[in-house]
Amino acid sequence: MPALPSSLISSVSCAPALTVAETAGGLPGALAGLPDPRARRGVRHRLTVVVTAAVCAVVAGYRSYTAIAEWVADVPASTALALGMTPDRRPSEAMIRRLLQAVDPQLLTTAIGAWLAGRTTTAAPTNPQAIAVDGKALRGSRTTDTPARHVMTACDQATGVVLACVDVDDKTNEITRFAPLLDQISDLRDAVITADALHCQREHVTYLAQRGAHWILTVKGNQPHLHVQLTGLPWRAVPDAARDTDRGHGRREIRTLKILTISTGIDFPHAAQAIQIRRRRHRLDQPKRFTTETVYAITDLHVHHARPAQLAAWIRGHWSIENKVHWVRDVTYDEDRSQIRTGTGPEVMAALRNAAISALRLTGVTNIAAANRHHARDSTRPLALLGVT
């Protein structure tokens, strides 16, 4: 029996490597090598057209398959033509939904990440690139029979741009997906990778050493022997190397950082310095009631690689992935209440949200919700943002 038009038969082809010309141009060029999961017969709308239109809709604040289809149906004929659509024959909601439920999310993220990398400034940075790695559950994808989907993301601390993303299925965990995630980033030389205690693994630091990257890893109870070694160091005799104060959300926080160079006695490969971070907080209306938290970390960075203030900034900057990406997806895009659950739909929609947020961040946007409204008022604005001509 012949395949139905636009049927979602998996493609056996692999996505070719993107050229410099493709990543330096618009998003459609970067998506040109993405495998189409449909049979060739009966395809009316090219994959690049549908995915680019979906990203445009997400840039304008649209959150679901139905909303994306409404944006496509409502844009003027000139916008439809610019996207590569015939104005009187646009993709339907059913067609958009079936396609986005079958696209390979990792190949999609890799293509978008390469395009975003081509748009970043070519000026030499004053500091090494810092990349935060963290995972997030897509809570709305949970059903009575299956757990919520989980994705892991690598984000540039300075810009908030998502550089890579992989899914973490229920048969594995974030630890096994660490290397596949960072494999999507072509060059990690001299980059500083920050991650939480789950990724304080010997295999991870060996992998990063092979890629020429540096790392700062939090140490907690999942590495009990290492944690005991760090807490037993003579911290009382060590002066504060960095100190800063922050006030906001009705509280004041004082952070101090101490550093010890490791010569012997710490059983962890490539470790060069041990770090103690102490945070003292109090509510502004209760100035004498402090809570204190002490956290330990290790790094392969030597004294000459980074000053204490820079180490403190990278450690604090690790949470940029929460503030600049995960929080925006939850609050602005209401991701945790999304009912998209079929096929690869949850992961693909997360990739589209990451693409929209990252493209907006590269223009200097700090308020994503306001930027969504701005791009919703004129359908040509998302096209200009994504390089669609």
Asked whether 34 and 103 are in contact (CB, 8 A), the reply is yes
User: Mean pLDDT over residues 127-138, rounded?
Assistant: 91
Confidence grade of residue 191 (pLDDT, cut at 50, 70, 90): very high
Asked whether 91 and 72 are in contact (CB, 8 A), the reply is yes
pLDDT of amino acid 265: 67
The whole-angstrom separation of Cα 47 and Cα 15 is: 13
pLDDT at 124 over 80: no
Lowest mean pLDDT among 271-275, 287-291, 322-326: 287-291
Asked whether 109 and 151 are in contact (CB, 8 A), the reply is no
pLDDT at 122 over 80: no
pLDDT at 41 over 90: no
Confidence grade of residue 117 (pLDDT, cut at 50, 70, 90): confident
pLDDT at 23 over 60: no
Q: What is the pLDDT of residues 194-222, one digit of tens each?
A: 999 999 999 999 999 999 999 999 999 88
pLDDT of amino acid 289: 81
Q: Is the dihedral of CA 384, 366, 63, 326 positive or negative?
A: positive
Distance separating the N- and C-terminal Cα atoms of the chain: 40
pLDDT at 6 over 70: no
The whole-angstrom separation of Cα 345 and Cα 350 is: 8
* CA atoms in the 13 A half-sphere facing the CB of 281: 10
pLDDT at 3 over 80: no
At 244, the amino acid letter reads: D
pLDDT at 187 over 70: yes
Per the prediction, the chain carries an average pLDDT of 88
The whole-angstrom separation of Cα 138 and Cα 333 is: 12
The number of helices, as runs of H, and strands, as runs of E, in the chain is: 16, 9
User: Mean pLDDT over residues 254-262, rounded?
Assistant: 92
pLDDT of amino acid 140: 77
At 122, the amino acid letter reads: T
Helices (H), the chain: 20-24, 27-30, 47-59, 65-74, 77-83, 93-100, 105-119, 178-183, 202-211, 224-231, 308-317, 320-321, 327-331, 345-361, 368-376, 380-385
Lowest mean pLDDT among 48-57, 65-74, 132-141, 297-306: 132-141
The whole-angstrom separation of Cα 374 and Cα 362 is: 16
pLDDT of amino acid 125: 57
Confidence grade of residue 11 (pLDDT, cut at 50, 70, 90): very low
Confidence grade of residue 175 (pLDDT, cut at 50, 70, 90): very high
3-state helix, strand, coil in the chain (%, to 5): 40, 20, 40
User: Mean pLDDT over residues 96-101, rounded?
Assistant: 96
Check residue 217 and report its DSSP letter. Answer: E
pLDDT of amino acid 121: 54
Q: Residue 51 is inside which H or E element, if any?
A: helix 47-59
Phi-psi region of 343 (alpha: psi -120 to 50; beta: other; left: phi over 0): left
Q: What tokens were used for 350?
A: 């997360």
The whole-angstrom separation of Cα 219 and Cα 201 is: 10
Lowest mean pLDDT among 7-16, 129-138, 239-248, 311-320: 7-16
